[in-house]
Amino acid sequence: MPSEEEIRTAARILAASRHAVVLTGAGHSTPSGIPDFRSPASGLWERSDPMVVASLVGFHRNPRAFYDWIRPLARQMVKAEPNPAHHALAKLEQLRVVKAVITQNIDQLHQKAGSRRVLELHGSIRTATCTLCGDQTATDEMWLSFFDSDELPRCRSCGAVLKPDVILFGELLPEAVLLEALSEAEQCDAMLVAGSSLEVYPAADLPARAVGNGAKLIIVNYEPTHMDSRAQVVLHEDVAMALPQIAERIAINEPTQ
């Protein structure tokens, strides 16, 4: 249970900020039933080799292996609902405290919760692109059809295999989104890291960029991160418990800006 003083300090930093941004990772969505990738006992990479099932080279070599691996994860993402941490960030955006959510997640839960400015560093499951002709399509029907039939999703124009627009190992991040995220990190005066182990780069470098430019740092994550020593507040807590408390304390003192 986070202490009242820690919650109060985090809320004070965010409420006093001119430009606060948030970086979220897999731990932000685990309360919604979506497993993370690196937890020692339950992480997805404990059971699968990411270079085989989730690399760009692996996908082109054997798309069936990728789709067999992502099937249960995609099913969980499609049916998942935002948890209290997602709703807390959407509330902070409504209060004009949070200016942007930078996320490593591909599950669309920030948008479902009502966050409007979401920078998806690792893409999302909402669209897919043809590996041959490049046509892009929404995936609502694609996923449902795949869950029912087990047939590889194929392009309606040319019949080639569709690749979901998620970033695989060996694939470059979307340049425009990355540049926007870097800009947000460099101009913010407060950054909240929520549910990220800060182990995957370049996302893991964003808090250091923010702090290097004078921003205050708040970290909410079960496990320690390499940035804990540079943060004003560190909560090794469940994001679904801590973030609503921070948002509620800020909301009580409206208007913030």
- Work out whether the CA dihedral 236, 210, 19, 105 comes out positive or negative: negative
User: Which CATH superfamily groups domain 1-33+82-122+173-257?
Assistant: TPP-binding domain (3.40.50.1220)
Give the side-chain half-sphere CA count within 13 A for 7: 17
pTM, 2 dp: 0.92
- Active site residue ranges: 122
The residues spanned by each domain of the chain are: 1-33+82-122+173-257, 35-79+128-166
Determine the Cα–Cα distance for residues 41 and 47; give it in Å rounded to an integer. 10
1-33+82-122+173-257 and 35-79+128-166 share one fold = no
User: Which CATH superfamily groups domain 35-79+128-166?
Assistant: SIR2/SIRT2 'Small Domain' (3.30.1600.10)
Confirm if 155 and 133 have CB atoms less than 8 A apart: yes
Determine the Cα–Cα distance for residues 68 and 213; give it in Å rounded to an integer. 44
Determine the Cα–Cα distance for residues 53 and 32; give it in Å rounded to an integer. 24
Per-residue pLDDT of the chain (257 residues; tens, 9 = 90+): 678 999 999 999 999 999 999 999 999 999 999 987 544 444 454 455 767 778 999 999 999 999 999 999 999 999 999 999 999 999 999 999 999 999 999 999 999 999 999 999 999 999 999 999 999 999 989 999 999 998 999 999 999 999 999 999 999 999 999 999 999 999 999 999 999 999 999 999 999 999 999 999 999 999 999 999 999 999 999 999 999 999 999 998 754 44
